[in-house]
Chain A
Amino acid sequence: MLDPEIPVISVVDLGIVRSVELAADGTLEVSVSPTYSGCPATEVIRAQIGAALERAGLAKHRVRDVLSPPWTSDWITEVGRAQLLEYGIAPPSAPVASPRRLLNDAPVACPRCSSKDTERVSEFGSTPCKSLRRCRACREPFEHFKCI
């Protein structure tokens, strides 16, 4: 099931779907974590998961929010990162725990020409999870999926 805002990456590859379990009462329980506290796509994702399960004939289900441990961009899979890059979004540039991430000066490569000579235009982009950057080599703007 694809992310509604970035329709090339699945919610599983984003690390949003935490687990799928069969509860004691026979209900299928899908646990999801919001990427950002105010992410408006979270509710859409929850509804779409429910709809997908209904279509698959798994009527007895519930989608559960899990806040802890908090979602981190480290959970985006390699497949997910490749999908973001192909779509034109630079994937998170460094593991969250790395010192460079804390200073947020890990170089971000341009998704079009791969140059590392890029600069940040704005901390926030079209969605809470992305920042706006510009490549100084090919001069194209692009978004960066922020490390969090």
Chain B
Amino acid sequence: MTAPGNIGATPQGSASAQARLQYVLRLADTSLILGQQLTGWIGHAPALEEDLGLANVSLDLVGQARLLLAYAAQLEGRGRSEDELAFLRAPADYRCVQLVTQPNGDFADTLVRQFLFDAWQRELFERLTASRDVRIVEIAAKALKEIEYHVRYSAGWLVRLGDGTEESHARAQRALDQLWPFTTELCTADELDQLMLKQGVGPDLVDVARAWSTRVDAVLGEATLRRPADRPYRWFGKRGEHGEHLGYVLADMQFLPRAYPGAAW
């Protein structure tokens, strides 16, 4: 990629700024919704260490989301805050990938979802550190170090579950089979991804997909899990095409700010 320049000087309201905003929202919403979902395990995880582990990963993700949403609000130029973007949009306006909107399920469902995501986010964010958008570079560089810890955590659990008991293996394989169709979106570039690549803002998803696939194969191999066959999936959360579960996640997340507008403490 070309050297970073101050590409934040795009005039607000222009088509180019709109595209940049949508792209940043994809990154922001993906981290936000996954972070929110992981909080559902607090107080309910199978062991205290995993309660802390999932909560810490969640905290890192929400931290990423805050930085990205603050940048999105700036790009939007309508004077909205990161909180307004987080809590007051309708489901169809979120640009998170479908994978992170899938239900927590059991521990295997959550950790399989987490690993498939972490391995992808790691490749994506590593390449984003070479973006022409200076702010994206800063946020990605900051988050990348934390993501390395996330990958190690979730990959470790995938191996323990897969190469564990008959029960843990069966649950992990079932989770993998059910979540695999949502990985199509992670690895498929749409028009916005292609535009960002052309502008030097976003990476080539073919490259990301290849690296992701290599790591996934390595971990699944060690976990004695079978890689499911690809099943092309049409709906992309990054285009605002969501299943019903996002509605439940947002109802939980947005209730308080919507019920008490402007509440602060």
Contact = CB atoms under 8 A, between A and B. Distances in A.
B63 A38 contact: yes
A37 B142 contact: yes
A39 B63 contact: yes
A126 interface: yes
B252 interface: no
Nearest to A72: B145
Interface stretch (B10-18, B54-62, B205-213): B54-62
A72 B66 CA distance: 20
Given A37-B60, A38-B64, A128-B60, A68 B49 contact: no
Interface stretch (B72-80, B133-141, B164-172): B133-141
Interface string A113-126: 00000000111111
Interface in B158-191: none
Interface stretch (B105-113, B146-154, B228-236): B146-154
B187 to A, nearest CB: 25
A45 to B, nearest CB: 14
B43 to A, nearest CB: 15
A126 B63 CA distance: 17
B59 A128 contact: yes
A128 B56 CA distance: 5
Interface string A68-89: 1111100000000000000000
A124 B52 contact: yes
Interface string B20-58: 000000000000000100000000000001101101111
A38 B62 contact: yes
B67 interface: yes
Given A121-B49, A124-B153, A125-B52, A70 B59 contact: no
Given A67-B142, A69-B141, A124-B153, A37 B64 contact: yes
B100 interface: no
Interface of B is mostly: helix
A122 B52 contact: yes
A45 B67 CA distance: 17
Nearest to A40: B59
A53 interface: no
B60 to A, nearest CB: 5
A146 B53 CA distance: 14
Interface residues of A, number: 24
Contact of B149 (A70, A123, A127): A123
Given A36-B60, A38-B63, A38-B64, A123 B142 contact: no
B57 A70 contact: no
A121 B49 CA distance: 8
B124 interface: no
Interface of B: 35, 49-50, 52-53, 55-64, 66-67, 137-139, 141-143, 145-146, 149, 152-153, 156
Given A37-B63, A37-B64, 11 more contacts: A36-B60, A39-B59, A69-B141, A70-B142, A71-B142, A72-B145, A122-B50, A124-B52, A124-B149, A128-B56, A146-B149
26 contacts: A36-B59, A36-B60, A36-B63, A37-B60, A37-B142, A38-B59, A38-B60, A38-B61, A39-B63, A40-B59, A67-B139, A68-B142, A69-B141, A70-B145, A71-B142, A121-B49, A122-B50, A122-B52, A123-B53, A123-B149, A124-B49, A124-B52, A124-B56, A125-B56, A132-B52, A146-B149
